[in-house]
Amino acid sequence: MTEGGAIGGTTMGTTDGVWVEVRRGVYHDSVTLMRVSRALAERPDVAEAMAAMGTDLNLEMLRRMGFDVPADAGPGDLVVAVRAADGAPAQALDGARRALEELLRRPATAAAPADGEEPARTTAAAARRIGADVALLSIPGPQVFAEAMDALDAGLNVMVFSDNVPVEQEIALKDAAARRGLIVMGPDCGTAVIGGVGLGFANAVRPGPVGVVAASGTGAQQVMCLLDAADVGVSHVLGVGGRDLSLEVSGRSALAALAALDDDPATELIIMVSKPPAPRVAGLIREAARRLDTPVVFALPAPGEDDLTAAVERALATLGRPVPRWPRWPAPQPTVPPGRELRGLFVGGTLRDEADAIVRASLGDGGHTLVDFGDDAYTRGRPHPMIDPTLRLAALAEHAADPACGVLLLDAVLGHGAEPDPAAALAPAIAAARERRGGPDGDLAVVVSLCGTAGDPQDRDRQAAALREAGASVFASNAEAARCAVRLLRGSVEGVPDE
């Protein structure tokens, strides 16, 4: 930056059609900043734009975009960077500045209290006003504890969507809930369905006899979607947070959720879904499940355990329901040359874990890489990749450019709260990746696991058709997608089954 300086807590600089500004100690939530970034980037006189909190990941991304960001920018600072389009008028950056101020002032929703009421000042006051029995918290992790305790004191069950909550606070909240006969779902609980109402990232599924306890959001969604494809619905889906089955938390909410579903007359069978749990905690949960009147099926993506699809098939057999042929939309794939690697780019942590277990069991390590872009390391100060695909799309392009990559394995997760049209960005990226490697006759295969239902707002079948048209083979079962990727990497022409 050739111009700059600190002005009222702001460091800013403009040079050669580039404007970078750091606003010290200014916070905006990640969804707001995604909306701002998109709106600025869509201006005709702007080539690139990004507004984000100054986390290490966001600063690295800004630098990779070519922006010169002050070295002292930190996670508590708002960073805005804009590059004017080639040939844009000199005042283009001034227009972007004015647009930024308007966008940051614009509320995320136009909702207001009815009849001129004053806004509720606390969670408890809001709950009393509407007669709620569940509070959903989605605020920065360090601020969660006080709000969650306020909700518990008001007699509310709590779903904590937020991540980056200290584990000792999670334990304290779950112990406080147990003393009150309540449950804390989370932290980092992305999915729940209570009495047919979806919370967080939830799919449109029919009501039915299966209850789900999930220490995994996308794991729960895969189970829900496969059940729906088998014409079987769910009673409730109780998320408990990704750390609940860790040694530290010891299944506090999972035990409470199992007991609650066991007492529910509408629940005939329970599926317990988790990322790989601590072995001692898994034993504790299994022992508790054996004491229930309701049968429990476990879906734990780890060596020696059923994958998610196999667990659903076992649940269907227990209920006496037929197992369907899981939906798939295959596309022609090239023969992958020997010695190539598999690269998995996921937005769902448990979907990644399941695919990783299948890949390692079949191929060993061998340089194969599977990444979860929904991990906390990628979401500090950023929206979840199910909302904002920017990081994964950049990684897709990088891996496609690497001649060592032979198969790209991706997931796409639909449902309420997720991107309104994931294929709109993902399909062109897949097509470009394959074209770069020689098109249909080249040497790059692409497989997509599509987690969704026919009733989801994104229209699962339309998404599948777009991804297939771009050259990807698409599967509703994540396990089937992973096994297809393995077969393709081995050069098998049978990697993709017939229609």
Listing DSSP states for 290-303 in one string gives HTSSS-EEEE--ST
Predicted local confidence at residue 498, as pLDDT: 45
Please, which residues have CB within 8 angstroms of residue 441's CB and are 6 or more apart in sequence?
A: 334
Predicted local confidence at residue 109, as pLDDT: 46
Residue with tokens 């239902």: 453
Spatial distance between the Cα atoms of 59 and 11, rounded to a whole number of angstroms: 15
Q: Within 13 Å, how many C-alpha atoms sit on residue 85's CB side?
A: 14
Spatial distance between the Cα atoms of 135 and 251, rounded to a whole number of angstroms: 21
Pairing between β-strand 191-194 and β-strand 18-23 as defined by DSSP bridges: unpaired
Paired residues of 473 in beta bridges: 447
List of domains in the chain? 6-105 (3.30.70.60), 131-319 (3.40.50.261), 328-489 (3.40.50.261)
Spatial distance between the Cα atoms of 233 and 196, rounded to a whole number of angstroms: 10
Predicted local confidence at residue 111, as pLDDT: 42
Tokens coding 68: 């010169």
Tokens coding 154: 């008001």
* Helices (runs of H) and strands (runs of E) counted in the chain: 16, 20
Enclosing H/E stretch for 252: helix 252-262
Q: Could you tell me where the beta strands, DSSP code E, fall in 140-190?
A: 157-160, 184-185
Pairing between β-strand 328-329 and β-strand 473-475 as defined by DSSP bridges: antiparallel
78-84 sheet: strands from edge to edge: 5-7, 10-15, 18-23, 78-84, 46-53
Predicted local confidence at residue 92, as pLDDT: 86
Q: Could you tell me where the beta strands, DSSP code E, fall in 300-399?
A: 328-329, 341-346, 369-372
> 132-152: b or e for each residue (b if 16 or more CB lie within 10 Å)?
bebbbbeebbeebbebbbbbb
Tokens coding 320: 């006496």
- In which residue ranges of the chain is pLDDT below 50? 1-8, 109-112, 493-495, 497-499
DSSP 3-state of 82: strand
Spatial distance between the Cα atoms of 42 and 464, rounded to a whole number of angstroms: 27
Predicted local confidence at residue 113, as pLDDT: 53
Predicted local confidence at residue 301, as pLDDT: 74
Spatial distance between the Cα atoms of 76 and 28, rounded to a whole number of angstroms: 10
Report whether 374 contacts 385 (CB < 8 A).
Answer: yes
Residue 418 CA, chain-centre distance (Å), reads 8
Predicted local confidence at residue 314, as pLDDT: 98
Predicted local confidence at residue 332, as pLDDT: 95
Predicted local confidence at residue 387, as pLDDT: 86
Spatial distance between the Cα atoms of 401 and 200, rounded to a whole number of angstroms: 35
